[in-house]
Structure 1
């Protein structure tokens, strides 16, 4: 049974890479659990499930993974809260300062994480983002960017088989 990372990396079941990944099943299981924890936590705080899905899709589009962006778009559509849908695209804005600040910070964490500074955190706070939500945003960005990199790496390995 394939998991999300294997599916989007296009790892064929029974291939050498697929067999190697079976040996790493615990890592993949934990990756799936992390996906659910950051996308659909019981207590989303000030980052609704819909906003998390929109931001995840946005991060995927920044990196050029349309398939994974579509996965997160489906979560967004299922949420029924399409007010944040413009944020699923790199240039999208909601018009609400707090949400737009969150999206800008997700952009920085995805496209130039080494350039993130304490000033970026202060801008989030000034826009009304709480400290717990800043941590939630960092967790979401860390996971989605991890997922994107693992998928990209597996696609490269798949070509080497």
Structure 2
């Protein structure tokens, strides 16, 4: 395990820290989280979902974590066509607007998701395969967000 995996980086821990040592006891979990992150951000087959689009969605979702270090791990793309999507605005492109609404719902209130929301993405021009890939991306970002938040609480409690 390296000290620079995304979760450790967001937590601000290094190899000498107690939290690092606790996480190191589950190396398969740590390496698995990193492998999943790489797979959703940089897949072998991108399904016509560009790296910039993926990073915009990830950045938008990560902002819901209210953790600057975590958000920094998902930098917004430089591509101007994805700035509104990445930074929490409502893009003028109907497909990106549908994706923005979906991203916000999944990151903030996933229990509200329904088949109608997936139909909105289909109607906006996303394929089933693309929706699955975007769902995997959102799941990974939200998973990391919750792990970082929970471990931060544990670390803060242990330091009290």
Instruction: Give the TM-score of the pair, scaled to structure 1.
Output: 0.89
Select the residue among 111, 122, 144 that pairs with 1:125. Answer: 122
Report if aligned partners of 1:60, 1:68 keep a CA contact under 8 Å in 2.
yes
Structure 1 runs not aligned, ≥5 long: none
Q: Is 1:146 matched up with 2:131?
A: no
Aligned mates of 2:131, 2:59 — CA distance in 1: 18
Bigger CA drift: 131-140 or 4-13?
A: 4-13
Match runs of 1:7-156 below 5 Å: 7-73=9-75, 76-77=77-78, 81-90=79-88, 92-156=89-153
Structure 2 spans left out of the alignment, 5+ residues:
none
The answer on 1:159 being equivalent to 2:156 is: yes
Q: CA RMSD in A?
A: 1.5
Number of equivalences:
156
2:73 aligned counterpart, secondary structure = helix
Deviations 1:76-127 (A, max 9, x none): 24xxx3321221122x133111111112111111111000011111111111
Q: Is the 8 A contact 1:50 1:82 kept in 2?
A: no
Higher normalized contact order (CA 8 Å, seq sep 6+, divided by chain length):
1
**Structure 2 Cα separation of the partners of residues 89 and 70 of structure 1:** 13
